[in-house]
Chains A and B, each alone.
Chain A
């Protein structure tokens, strides 16, 4: 792993650790309100200070990871399972199945992802799980296409012929040799892109408001919106979530890139 990937992995590990910590901790976003200690700077009690309602910024930062972790993982699942399956089946078997699946993928891809997600939230309700599912659905064609291209070009290769000659069935060839051996980094890479995209979606919606995570549940997006424009406020109240968003997305991308390189080596 190169330096970028190591950095990315480290950041993601921290985010994951923060999420785990937030999930088991007894920090209560509601009870933490205390206007008497509003907008304090960093101190031993509050590592990143407090926001203008007196809530601890650092803890809210950790708690906010719950807002996108679940939906992000859901998106990856919703995207990978049908997406990979569709791409693999279309690539391997070809023919009318391929045409039908590729048509379906094209149709979904004709709607810009954000439009699809926005429509889904509007119609089905404004919660982050719908967001995750819609993001997954919107991304599935990209994943399917990538898998399709890989499998389609590999299926005529010698090692496949050799496997058949050995008497291995089609399904085993498909699922193990083609998908697992050759596609897992590909899928992993796309999963990371999708995860960072879901984070992007969630924070954007929560920042602009109207949709997304609502107070008092913290999200890096709504923390930013809440503290923005606070004069004489604690600057960390806004900068901490901004940095968190940027670093996490960057980490996902760096790590994903390294998966490409690993394959090339």
Chain B
């Protein structure tokens, strides 16, 4: 880590001056913990990696996979092998040439059991990666793959940056990350910002000279800073700032559709959440429109896909807001009404809703929901957890009753981890043999029509079985200064098309 001893002077020189032509400053809630795609666990890290590293394939503006570090590829008849021809005009930020060794190294490092990569799932479907020659790689898969190029978006790391295939977070690579992307990391600044410069030896150099990631943990301040022209870009605009920014002549809003949806999940291993009548009652009690209105606009959903997804089943009806029907279900579930209050035996019926405190607007939603349910006669306790406690209680211990949360998916929208019996992110404990079969089929099939049909059927079953009440997708907006032009935003990675962005 290069740290300047003249901290103050450096900071003054680079950051307090107004942006000269070509510097894009964007804000993140939290600075990346580590710049190494193998260990990425947060969206700020993912977005930063998009600037510095590249993968074999990338998305074009229609969100289809196109070759990036690869030049062309052939897939075998039985679709279990792929021969990839790599570009020969690529070099790393330190000048070394990019070769097949780097590709094979990356895949083996991610698969290496001692690396403990959280991104292991991205390569676990590759059985073996072989170097054929300097610019050719052969991949062998466990199963036939319909579209392997959709899964080859992960970033490639330089083999010469590491010793051996066991990669550790403590490796010195973290101090000087090297990629092949349009920007190279110049400096970790002492104020937690990261300075990047465009790399002129890239085969397709970007237009913007410099990009700086700034950590602005106070969400209240992010929009203010954009208005004050201390930043050029906000990745996600808080709903309450939308009105202000819309009226601002110097700021442009860019809507984008992320594949992310909010949900209210039940812990199916706890009483009374294992009782479907109780869950139905809750589904009929929640007034989703009223919950959504204060925090923004979006689509109300009935299943685990966004409305524009090919897998969304439009025939599945929404749960109606029907207190009388809910009351009937509650009685069926064995609860009795005493005055205004639902009783669980002798005790008032009490439920607990847990949410991640960093989830924007979750406070408003949970408080509102609490109020709704309370007026319907159910006591609600509320808990907002910080990241560490969330990981411990929800991810590991499954110690919760209801959770309000959000899932974000990339283009593949693979929900297996969330809904398959053995899924690593199946917090609700959902287990349905039909859904398992459908999800497995969808993963294995090479026929897009069959995939659509099975996933739509899965949508229907999941809706009926009600492991969670699906809420909505929120319309997301990015905000950029009007000085930035030719802006196209990738809904997940954000900076995929940054090479085209310009600035006056």
Contacts and interface: CB of A to CB of B under 8 A. Distances in A.
Interface of A: 28, 30-35, 52-53, 126, 209-211, 214-216, 226, 228-231
B370 A35 contact: no
B228 to A, nearest CB: 13
A215 B363 contact: yes
Nearest to A33: B371
B336 interface: no
A30 B370 contact: yes
Interface of B: 220, 224, 240, 244, 290, 293-294, 357, 363-364, 366-368, 370-371, 374-375, 380, 382-384, 386
Contact of A210 (B294, B366, B386): B386
Contact of A231 (B244, B290, B357): B244
A26 to B, nearest CB: 13
A31 B367 contact: no
B371 A31 contact: yes
A209 B357 contact: yes
B220 A215 contact: no
Given A31-B375, A229-B224, A216 B367 contact: yes
18 contacts: A30-B370, A30-B374, A31-B371, A31-B374, A32-B371, A33-B367, A33-B368, A35-B290, A53-B364, A126-B386, A209-B357, A214-B383, A215-B366, A216-B370, A216-B382, A226-B363, A229-B220, A230-B240
Nearest to B294: A35
A30 B357 contact: no
Contacts of A126: 386
A35 B220 contact: no
A30 B380 contact: yes
Nearest to A122: B388
Nearest to A211: B386
Given A33-B370, A215-B382, A229-B220, 10 more contacts: A28-B374, A30-B370, A33-B367, A35-B294, A53-B367, A126-B386, A214-B357, A214-B383, A214-B384, A216-B367
A112 to B, nearest CB: 22
B385 to A, nearest CB: 9
A1 B294 CA distance: 51
Contacts of B367: 30, 33, 53, 215-216
Contacts of A35: 290, 293-294, 368
Q: What 6 A-B pairs come out closest when comparing CB atoms?
A: A229-B220, A33-B371, A214-B384, A216-B367, A215-B363, A35-B294
Nearest to B387: A210
Nearest to B220: A229
B293 A215 contact: no
B219 to A, nearest CB: 9
Nearest to A38: B294
A211 to B, nearest CB: 8
A30 B371 contact: yes
Nearest to A28: B374
A91 B25 CA distance: 61
Contacts of A34: 371
B358 to A, nearest CB: 9
B368 A53 contact: yes
Nearest to A226: B363
A100 B444 CA distance: 72
Contacts of A33: 367-368, 370-371
A52 B368 CA distance: 12
A215 B371 CA distance: 13
- A28, A53, A228 interface centre (most CB from chain B within 10 Å): A53
A190 to B, nearest CB: 33
B374 A215 contact: no
Nearest to B219: A229
Given A210-B386, A215-B384, A228 B371 contact: no
A33 to B, nearest CB: 4
A188 B370 CA distance: 42
B376 to A, nearest CB: 11
Contacts of A211: 386
B293 A228 contact: no
A35 B372 CA distance: 12
A162 to B, nearest CB: 60
Nearest to A231: B244
Contacts of B374: 28, 30-31
Nearest to A229: B220
